Amino acid sequence: MKYDVLTIGHISLDYNIDYLDHQIVEIGGAVIYSSASAYALGHKVGVVTKLAEADKDRLEALVIPKEDVFSSYCEHSASIRNKYFTADKERRACTCLSQAESFTMDDIPTCGAEIYHFAGLIYGDFDGELIKALSKKGKVAVDVQATLRHADMQDNGRMYFEDWAEKKELLPYIDFLKTDAAEAEILTGTSDRKEAAKILYGWGAKEICITHNTEVLAYDGVNFYTCPIKARNLSGRSGRGDTTFAAYITERLHNDIPNSLLWATATVSLKMEAPGALKAKRTDIQEYINNFYKEELL
């Protein structure tokens, strides 16, 4: 059975502390939010993940059918502490409490996929050779978080961002590249999102998606497209970029960029109104579009 998307990433036990020092402990990770988003839209989704056997109950946080989860055991599971400094959760400090084992080709099922989505958490979750290998089997989608975000385990797991040394070598293998505004600036040196998208395209990425707290931008080397985020509250802010990107890339299998962007922003807007991974159907998202994206439908 071939999947529309095979999402590769670790499930993390997250300690999220808001600006008022209220702590919520929850199962998270890009793979949780991404797979839920694509599945809600009706796409065939598979997940590849690794975790310690003692933490196998974390798999219950995935909303996709169990038969579509390809999990294996390793010594440590992923765990991250996020301390937010503002009510909108745009500023935070992250600490790696534990990093899971890297993914290799041995972890990838032979069933195949239209898109291989790298939904990593920390630098080292996967390497360039895996990106190259999977680019020969299908389209490759990469969230740059796990190419820029490092963990210094000699400094109590302090996490920091630094530029991706292999970017010019590996971007030509990537069909869909996702960054947020801050990550785009780290990669390109400019805070202008459109200019950053142009630079990333020039380095080889075929389609760029840049998320921002107000809108999502897509660029295909010819045109820029944007669509606003219209969430009515931020109670489900965690996983914003993951939800957006997974919705976008899977819609792009059968849709043009403007409509894919519309479905992606509506999907993430709905998700952000409730904590946790999105649990919805395509009809729910269609209703959200009908109610809140009337101007975009004109």
Q: What is the pLDDT of residue 298?
A: 61
Distance of CA 159 to the CA centre of its chain: 18
Q: What is the pLDDT of residue 101?
A: 96
What domains appear along the chain, each with residue ranges and CATH number?
A: 3-297 (3.40.1190.20)
Between CA 86 and CA 256 the distance in angstroms is: 36
Q: What is the pLDDT of residue 233?
A: 87
Task: Output the pTM of the full model.
Answer: 0.95
pLDDT digits (tens, 9 = 90+) for 71-129: 999 999 999 998 988 887 778 889 999 999 999 999 999 999 999 999 999 999 999 99
Sheet with 224-228, edge to edge strand ranges: 69-73, 45-51, 3-8, 113-118, 139-143, 176-180, 208-211, 215-219, 224-228
- Asked if 47 and 68 count as a contact pair (C-beta separation under 8 A), the reply is yes
Question: What distances in angstroms separate CA 58 from CA 10, 27, 62, 234, one per listed residue?
Answer: 10, 7, 8, 24
- Asked if 218 and 261 count as a contact pair (C-beta separation under 8 A), the reply is yes
Q: What is the pLDDT of residue 283?
A: 97
Q: What is the pLDDT of residue 1?
A: 67
Q: What is the pLDDT of residue 8?
A: 98
Between CA 63 and CA 106 the distance in angstroms is: 24
- Asked if 220 and 260 count as a contact pair (C-beta separation under 8 A), the reply is no
Q: For the chain, give the longest Cα–Cα distance.
A: 55
Residues of the chain with pLDDT under 70: 1, 298
Between CA 221 and CA 209 the distance in angstroms is: 12
- Asked if 217 and 233 count as a contact pair (C-beta separation under 8 A), the reply is no
What does the DSSP assignment read for the chain? --EEEEEE---EEEEEE-TT--EEEEEE-HHHHHHHHHHHTT--EEEEEEE-GGGGGGGGG--S-GGGEEEEE-S--EEEEEEE-STT---EEEEEEE-PPPP-GGGS-TT-EEEEEE--SSTTSS-HHHHHHHHTTSEEEEETHHHHEEEEGGGTTEEEE---TTHHHHGGG-SEEEEEHHHHHHHHS-S-HHHHHHHHHHTT-SSEEEE-SSEEEEE-SS-EEEEE---S--TT-TTHHHHHHHHHHHHTTTS-HHHHHHHHHHHHHHHTTSSSS----HHHHHHHHHHH-HHHH-
